[in-house]
Amino acid sequence: MYRLEEFRVICAWCHSIIQSPKCARGEVPESHGVCRGCAIKMGLPAHLLDRQSA
């Protein structure tokens, strides 16, 4: 089982790296999300991105 900090997270739209793994030994699992810039371009209000997650 992988922990969150072991993933490389890549923006599904612009392919930029959102998060790099803390320890990059060999192959690392990848996941996709949406970066802040792409989320705003798609219409998500910026103030929603400024809130800290619980």
Q: How far is CA 53 from the centre of its chain?
A: 14
pLDDT at residue 22 greater than cutoff 50: yes
Q: Write out pLDDT tens, residues 24-53.
A: 677 889 999 999 999 999 999 988 887 655
Residue 13 in contact with residue 33, Cβ under 8 Å? no
Nearest-Å Rg of the Cα atoms of the chain is: 13
The DSSP call for residue 36 is: H
> What gap in Å lies between CA 21 and CA 29, rounded to an integer?
9
Domain ranges of the chain: 4-45
Whole-model pTM above 0.75?
Answer: no
